[in-house]
Structure 1
Amino acid sequence: MKSINLQRTESLLMELIPEALSSMADERIRSLPITGVNCKNGKYDAIVYFDGSDYDKNEINQIISLLKKANGRMKSHVLASTGWYKCPNFKFVNDTSLEQSRNIEALFAKISKDKKEEE
């Protein structure tokens, strides 16, 4: 169970990270949808999940590389917006849960269709 303060931190980062990304030069990360933030070790580390379902593996690796390069500017934006003394280190991960849920929905639709055809 996460503390209320940690949940607040994650919620605030969910707002601030897309703001910071929107000011970046590269279009691929400027409009990147952030799907979640999971803080670890208090506020020292944060895993940032993004939806990369529109990209192939090579493009996702490029996006992660771009996000790593933009890490400093994003930290500066978060610190300026919050007044915190320290900002978490961001680690970026492609969120595959959306793609998995789509696959499950498609599977259920196929099962439903097959059952109707059997009747």
Structure 2
Amino acid sequence: MTEAEIKLKRTESILLELIPEALGSLNDKRLHQLDVIDIKCSRGRSDAKVYIDPASFTQEEKSEFLKLLKKARPIIETFCMKDQGWFRSPKFTFEFDEQLKKAQNIEELFKKIAKD
């Protein structure tokens, strides 16, 4: 692993701890129930995708959460900057992680193929 990759992983790890803490500090109780699954930073650490557990939310609820998170993004970024003493924070993009659902669908397809 190169030094740049280590710094990238360290930043992702720090953000994985800070973002749920920042969500918990917000006044909107709806955002407290969100679970952050993973974070992927860009190579230069200027952008970060935050993956959230879709749990059992409906599509309407997901779109509502994304709107709330978009409004709260500057507050969350400021929280992370102040906590770590950074000059700037990555710009966050929030998404619901659908990989688990896709993997389950693929497993079901393999089971159907095996039966046939």
Normalised-by-shorter TM-score class: 0.7 to 0.9
* 3-state SS of paired residue (2:89): coil
Contact 2:39 2:49 in 1 (8 A): yes
* Alignment match, 2:93: 91
1:36-74 C-alpha deviation (Å, 9 max, x unpaired): 101014121000000123211111111011001111110
Quick one: distance in 2 between partners of 1:16 and 1:57?
26
Contact 2:40 2:50 survives alignment (8 Å): yes
Letter in 1 for 2:89: C
1:104 Cα shift? 5.2
**Mapping of residues 19-98 of structure 1, within 5 Å:** 19-98=21-100
> CA RMSD of the aligned region, Å?
2.3
- TM-score of the two chains, using structure 1 as the length reference: 0.81
CA contact (8 A) 1:34 1:51 kept: yes
AA partner of residue 94 (structure 2):
F
Query: Take 2:5 and 2:41, find their aligned partners in 1: how far apart are those partners?
Result: 11
CA contact (8 A) 2:20 2:36 kept: yes
- Asked whether the equivalents of residues 51 and 98 of structure 1 are also in contact (C-alpha less than 8 Å), the reply is no
- Do the aligned partners of residues 104 and 53 (structure 1) sit closer, same or farther apart at CA in structure 2, a change above 3 Å counting? farther
Distance 1:26 1:99 in 2: 28
Judge conservation of contact 1:38–1:48 (CA < 8 Å) in 2: yes
Partner of 1:3: 5
- Report the structure number with the largest CA radius of gyration: 1
Q: TM-score, normalised by structure 2?
A: 0.83
* Unpaired runs of at least 5, structure 1: none
Deviation at 1:97, TM superposition (A): 1.5
Q: Given that residues 33 and 51 in structure 1 are in contact (C-alpha distance below 8 angstroms), is that contact kept between their aligned partners in structure 2?
A: yes
